[in-house]
Amino acid sequence: MRLHRNLVMAVIQALDQIYNEGLYADKVVQRTLKSDKRWGSRDRKFVAETIYDMVRWKRLYDEIAGTKGHYSKDNLWKNFAVWAVLKGYSLPDWKQFAGTPSRRIKGKFDECQKVRKIRESIPDWMDEVGSQELGETWDKEIKELNNQAKVVLRVNQIKISRNDLKKRLAEEDIETEYIQGYPDALVLTERKNVFLTQAFKQGLFEVQDASSQLVAPFLEVEPGQKVIDTCAGAGGKSLHLAALMENRGQIIAMDIYGHKLTELKKRARRDGIHNIENRVIEGTKSIKKLKGKADRVLIDAPCSGIGVLKRNPDSKWKLEPDFLDRIRKTQASILDQYASMVKPGGKLVYATCSILPSENEQQVKGFLKKHPEFAFVRENKVSPSKSGFDGFYMALLERKTDA
């Protein structure tokens, strides 16, 4: 396998922006892929996947290269050389690769397999928290979370059936497979840019991980209900709820960030969905207005995102232990406040894309202790190592009618 200088240079430049300027990997990848229109699909795939791969395994490559977390241009090249040797590339006769100790790199890699936090390329604190909260299962989970995420689509059943979408995508040279137990999902057999397809432009599907697709059905919505999605963001789950409700009833999509709701508005228009109303949360007044009004409330709470590391590998290096402490307090506060919108007999789902019990079942237990007017119905802990998809948690609670 050969390396091409212009592609490698693009990777080095992208890593410099991610490591030294603190930019988000997904934004840097998007910008990098637009930087040279001459690149074909194979070139683009190499650039994107190499950037993500190097970010994912940053600590491991640092350890092997001896770069100690300092990302000068020379050190970035050393880390790239480690990646290339381990991937089986023949190093070209470039000055940046002069003196690369290929045999030593392979030996050092074998040595690093003995220590989990280096082998799995994670910060010390994350390894400690994972081990403390999940025990022996942490080994399997973090290993799976270092695999590349699959591209999963959610069929927009308002416009097309899953079978028909599968055929339509095949006509556009996008091959997909069904996933057992996920009625709205199709997974790509090979990574491709689905956003360029006519099927996407016509609103026939959304890109949404299989685990995330379990949340909206868990809320047990029905057409005609009043449903509030309290942390809607750009609205992936709001759109799914709308499809499950057959475009009938009312969905109030709320978020503290107005620009995210603007994105939801565009997506809803494309998807042919018209029962979503967007509302920016402007303090507690926005919540009080809806007290006891909703049949269903979804709280897709902000969290550490440890369950989605496979699609956001740079968050391993951006997350800090004190953020985890703060986010747990935020989760408890959101659950406490937003639950007031559920009417007697109504239901609430608390969900996160974390696999840590302190963000999940422990939050629910704390809430139920404080709010006897709610009863626990059921929960679903989605394990990355068992499902092969993102890690998620969801709990269904019901507000008692006599409370």
Contact 322, 272 (CB under 8 A): no
- Is the pLDDT at 402 greater than 90? The verdict is no
CATH of the structural domain 5-121, one choice from 1.10.3470, 1.20.1250, 1.10.1660, 1.10.940: 1.10.940
Return all residues near 332 (Cβ < 8 A) that are at least 6 apart. Answer: 363, 366, 367
Q: Which H/E stretch holds residue 209?
A: none
- Residues 220-241 have pLDDT tens digits of 999 999 999 999 999 999 999 9
Mean pLDDT (the chain) is 95
Q: Which H/E stretch holds residue 1?
A: none
Pairwise CA distance, residues 13 & 21, whole Å? 11
Q: CB pairs under 8 A, 24+ apart, for 378-381? A: 380/214, 380/218, 381/355
Pairwise CA distance, residues 342 & 318, whole Å? 35
| Per-residue tokens: 54 | 């190097």
DSSP conformation class of 89: P
Contact 395, 354 (CB under 8 A): no
- Is the pLDDT at 1 greater than 80? The verdict is no
- Strand-by-strand arrangement of the 176-178 sheet: 176-178, 185-188, 152-155, 205-207
Contact 159, 268 (CB under 8 A): no
> What is the pLDDT averaged over residues 281-290?
90
Q: Is 257 left (phi over 0), alpha (psi -120 to 50) or beta?
A: beta
Which pLDDT band holds residue 369 (cuts at 50, 70, 90)? very high
Residue ranges of the chain assigned to CATH 3.30.70.1170:
152-207
Per-residue confidence (pLDDT) for residue 283, from 0 to 100: 84
Residue ranges of the chain assigned to CATH 1.10.940:
5-121
**To 5 degrees, how large is the angle CA 378–CA 380–CA 386?**
150
Which pLDDT band holds residue 403 (cuts at 50, 70, 90)? low
Nearest alpha carbon to residue 61 among 3, 18, 114, 108: 108
> What is the pLDDT averaged over residues 249-276?
95
> What is the pLDDT averaged over residues 338-348?
97
Which pLDDT band holds residue 400 (cuts at 50, 70, 90)? very high
Entry pTM: 0.94
> What is the pLDDT averaged over residues 166-179?
96
Which pLDDT band holds residue 139 (cuts at 50, 70, 90)? very high
Domain over 152-207 is classified CATH 3.30.70.1170: yes
Per-residue confidence (pLDDT) for residue 69, from 0 to 100: 84
Q: At the topology level of CATH, where does 212-399 sit? A: Rossmann fold (3.40.50)
